[in-house]
Homo-oligomer: A and B are copies of this chain.
């Protein structure tokens, strides 16, 4: 059994490194579900990661992110770059219709073997989605995609997760959304490496771009390093207007990061997160393996006969022995 799984993991790894769509789909489902064995698979892929330019795209509902991603993908394909897209949807039941529509529009790319697109959702516990995003991006990276786009639909935590995974963060706004620009302060404004004002054929595009530039210049003192000159790009994603400029800005940002050590810094941040999650996974596995003692501990804590920290300490004391090489 163990031998059989070993073989199929090796074979699956090969297929993933060749970016076979069915292997990718299967593995992304395993990532969403945190299926057993997915950690071993990701571990074996790890040495093949670090080559893709991971681009996070976020912004409010209705800002045309998906159309922008489609247009950006066309521009990247025109430059012969392969593209992997993860559409992250923390609340798929809410906007299922809209996403489906956008995805159908994207389907022009679906016959192109240089493009792989996949929605990512998880109803799992806290942190489940962000971990799936990080793992999914690493998978598409290992599969040799030149650019991995992580598009977040929704707000809040999903936007924050983009920072954890992306080399370059693109924040999308639309004209006349003065409230949005206000709301970005203290949040999206600081994390954006590239600002896009999409739907710039609508009235007020210039003003919104000016407001964003103004907000950036006011907050520039807070920017780490403070050297990357954040562009504010107007686009009309539906016609492709301005989209090639974004490709140019993404390239410039990647080069800037390489020059300034920022990319290595993000790689270390990424590694830190992954080691922490792996450690937590090992600990959880250990706790689950000792299910009887865990259940007993839960009963003790629920009955207020011991506190959670003491219970955890007692459960962990036997961990080291279980960490022998597999």
Partner of A94, one of B157, B158, B183: B183
Report B-chain residues with C-beta under 8 Å of the C-beta of A40: 309
Partner of A90, one of B42, B156, B287: B156
Judging by beta carbons under 8 Å apart, are A282 and B312 in contact?
Answer: yes
Query: Within A204-243, which residues are at the interface with B (CB < 8 Å)?
Result: none
Report B-chain residues with C-beta under 8 Å of the C-beta of A279: 283-284, 287, 312, 315-316
Judging by beta carbons under 8 Å apart, are B301 and A274 in contact?
Answer: yes
Query: Within A234-273, which residues are at the interface with B (CB < 8 Å)?
Result: 264, 267-268, 270-272
**A183 and B92 alpha carbons, distance in the complex (Å):** 10
Beyond A187-B93, A298-B268, A319-B319, whether A307 also contacts B44 by CB under 8 A is yes
Judging by beta carbons under 8 Å apart, are A272 and B298 in contact?
Answer: yes
A8 within 8 A of B: no
Judging by beta carbons under 8 Å apart, are B276 and A284 in contact?
Answer: yes
Q: Which of A46, A279, A287 has the most CB of B within 10 A?
A: A279
Report B-chain residues with C-beta under 8 Å of the C-beta of A166: none
Chain A interface helix/strand/loop/mixed: helix
Tell me how far the C-beta of A130 lies from the nearest C-beta in chain B, rounded to whole angstroms: 5
**A49 and B282 alpha carbons, distance in the complex (Å):** 30
Q: Which residues of A contact B (CB under 8 A)?
A: 39-40, 42-44, 46-47, 49-50, 90-91, 93-94, 126-127, 130, 154-158, 160-161, 183, 185-187, 264, 267-268, 270-272, 274-284, 287, 294, 297-299, 301-302, 304, 307-313, 315-321, 323, 325
Given contacts A156-B156, A279-B316, could you give 18 more A-B pairs where the C-beta distance is less than 8 Å?
A42-B307, A43-B307, A50-B304, A91-B155, A126-B126, A126-B160, A270-B302, A271-B299, A271-B302, A278-B309, A278-B312, A278-B313, A279-B283, A279-B284, A281-B309, A282-B309, A283-B283, A318-B320
